[in-house]
Each structure stands twice: as structure tokens, then as C-alpha cells.
Amino acid sequence: MSEEAPVTPSWFGSESTWASGGGGMENVTMVTFPPAPDFPPRYPPELFMNPWDIVLCSSGTLIACENALVVLVIWQNPALRAPMFLLIGSLALADLLAGLGLVLHFTFAYLLRSNSAQLLTVGLVVASFSASVFSLLAITIDRYLSLYYALTYNSERTAAFTYTMLVLLWSASVCLGLLPVTGVNCLGEESSCSVVRPLTKNNVVVLSVSFLLLFGLMLQLYVQICKIVMRHAHQIALQHHFLAASPHYVTTRKGVSTLALILGTFAACWMPFTVYSLIADYTYPPLYTYATLVPATYNSVINPVIYAFRNQEIQKALWLICCGCIPASVAHRARTPSDV
């Protein structure tokens, strides 16, 4: 059996570590110097950590804590069983696993240096971030259908459709996460590595193109949502004869602003890493990969704020868990028309 290749404590191979390796000494001319005093090293080289890895681990910890709270609230509250809350719970669970994956990868990379552990943690990160993006698409589809079929959407067929979406998105995400574990990796041929080791260039290209297609679909759905909402608001405002002063029109403008915030945040977080993954290769400086990957993780930090903590029902459940009461302001907002 061949000996396992050495593992570096980083996502991006030996070039990205801050502690130097030990290869290439055969071409160096040896020069004899006077013996130097034998001082102890300032720190063990194998324990020196890449600061970027520490940033990713910190992001993972924050992501896990935020989304664990959302999952706990939805799980313990029987009133939060509507399709919308199931999809928000799926998004929070995916981001929770993504945060745990980042933390586990950091832990295993510096404590348990093995290719098997690296493949498992990278597979978990790929599967969870894929499930997060798919859940965002599912939430977009749910919002579009709830407006397009406003009179008939809340039915048993809606619940069945939601469960079907959840099964499909998690099945696809698990399949993507299993690719590195089942042998689709670059451990045997470093030249085939992408900017994220041990994913191959083909892996990253497929993931990046899929992301661009999903983003295009989400953009199209949100444009249709805006058209439907504006048309409904205009009809209601005409009945009141006060277009600009109608409360429904004001609420609609806030809803459209919310949609712009959702899409803008999603694109700002994921687009740099997606585009960079398509044009870069393994020879690029790892700093560029870190600089684009870290903002992508921030999307999982922001998701609970946009989709969960702004929801009045989840706010009420959080207040009940934290202090056993519901503030009057939260109760009042729950009785007013919500944003899109």
C-alpha cells in the first residue's frame, strides 16, 4: 500500500501555509558556519496557524451559533410549521452545518492531519453551502407561488410541494458533498487541484456555473414577484384614490426594497468567489482565494437576520423563549401587513 501524501493544515495546499515546508534541499550548496548557541524555538512550527484559517473558523463559530438559535426556535414551536417556516428552517440547518464544517475543518487541519478527515470536512462544507443556496432558491419559489396563486396556495398540496422541494434540495446537496469522498478529488494529482483543495477544477467549475444559473433563476423570480406586488398595490391604491399615501403602497415599496436587499446581499457575498473560481487555477496566490471565500461565508451570517430574525412570528417565539413575554411593539408589528 502506498504511503499517504502529506497533509498541510490549510485549504489550499502547501503554497498557502505560513510555515515553510521542507522539500527541495537536494539542490542547495551546504556552507559550514561556526556553531550557534542552541536556543529553544519560539514556537513549534507545526502549531503556527494561518490567520485566514482563524478568520474562517471564527466565521463558522458565529454562523453555527446564529443558525442553531433559529433551528431551535422553529423546532420547539409547533406554531411554526407552515411551509415558509419549514424552508427557513432548512436554510438555517444548512448554514448551521456549514458553520460546523468550517470549525471542524480548522480543528482537524491542525490537530488531525489526514486526507480522510480533510475529505470529510470539505465534503460537509460543500454539501451544506449547496443546501443553503438551494434553500434560498426554494424560499424564492415559495414566495413567488404564494403571490401568483394567492387564493389557493395555502393548502395540503402546498405542504406536499414544500416537502418535495426539501427532499430534492437536500438529496442534491448530499450528492455534491459526497463527490470528494467518493474519489472525485485531486489528492492523487495535484496539478488537477482547483483553488480550493482537494476539489478538482472540474468540481469547482460545475459548482460555479450551477450557482450562476441558480442566481439567474432567483433574479427572474424576484422580478416577477416585484411585478405582481406592484400591480396588486396599484389596484388597491386606486381604490383609495391616494396612490402615494396608501399604506399598502408604502408596504409594497418596503417589500421591494427587501427583495433588493436579499438579492444584493446574496450577489455581493457569493459572486466574487464564483467568478474567481472560474478564472483562477491552483497556481494563483492563496490570498486571492481567501479574500473571496471569506465574504461567501458572511452570507450565512446574514441569512438569519434577513429571513428569520425579521419575521414577526419568529420574533415572538424568541421573546417567549428569552423572557417569557412579548413586547407590545413586536405584537403590534405582527398585526400589521408584513413585507414581501
Q: pLDDT tens-digit profile of 308-320?
A: 888 888 888 887 7
Mean pLDDT across the stretch 150-172? 84
pLDDT of residue 40: 42
Looking at the structure of the chain, the number of domains it has is 1
Q: Classify residue 246: in a domain, yes or no.
A: yes
pLDDT of residue 5: 52
Confidence of residue 179 (pLDDT cuts 50, 70, 90): confident
Check whether 69 has a pLDDT greater than 60: yes
Q: Classify residue 258: in a domain, yes or no.
A: yes
Check whether 203 has a pLDDT greater than 70: yes
pLDDT of residue 241: 56
26-57 pLDDT, tens digit each: 444 444 444 444 444 433 444 467 888 889 99
Q: Classify residue 12: in a domain, yes or no.
A: no
Check whether 181 has a pLDDT greater than 80: yes
Q: Classify residue 191: in a domain, yes or no.
A: no
Q: Classify residue 11: in a domain, yes or no.
A: no
Backbone phi, then psi, for 77, in 5-degree steps? -105, 110
Q: What is the DSSP string of 233-253?
A: HHHHHHHHT-TTT-HHHHHHH
Q: Classify residue 34: in a domain, yes or no.
A: no
Kindly tell me the sign of the dihedral angle through the C-alpha atoms of 19, 24, 27, 33. Answer: positive
Percent of the chain past pLDDT 70, that is, above it, reads 72
Mean pLDDT across the stretch 171-186? 87
**Type of residue at 229:** V
Give the Å distances, CA to CA, from 231 to 17, 72, 204, 224, 245: 55, 38, 40, 11, 16
Confidence of residue 251 (pLDDT cuts 50, 70, 90): low
CA distance linking residue 166 with residue 171, whole number of Å: 8
Residue 321 belongs to domain spanning: 49-185+198-335
CA 22 to chain centre: 36
Q: How many CB atoms lie within 10 A of CB 167?
A: 10
Higher pLDDT, 234 or 147: 147
CATH assignment of the domain containing 272? 1.20.1070.10
Q: Classify residue 40: in a domain, yes or no.
A: no
**Type of residue at 204:** V
pLDDT of residue 184: 79
Indicate the average pLDDT of the chain.
Answer: 77
Q: Classify residue 13: in a domain, yes or no.
A: no
CA distance linking residue 292 with residue 279, whole number of Å: 13
Most confident region among 2-11, 103-112, 146-155 by mean pLDDT: 103-112
pLDDT of residue 132: 94
CA distance linking residue 152 with residue 302, whole number of Å: 32
CA distance linking residue 304 with residue 11, whole number of Å: 26
Mean pLDDT across the stretch 182-211? 81
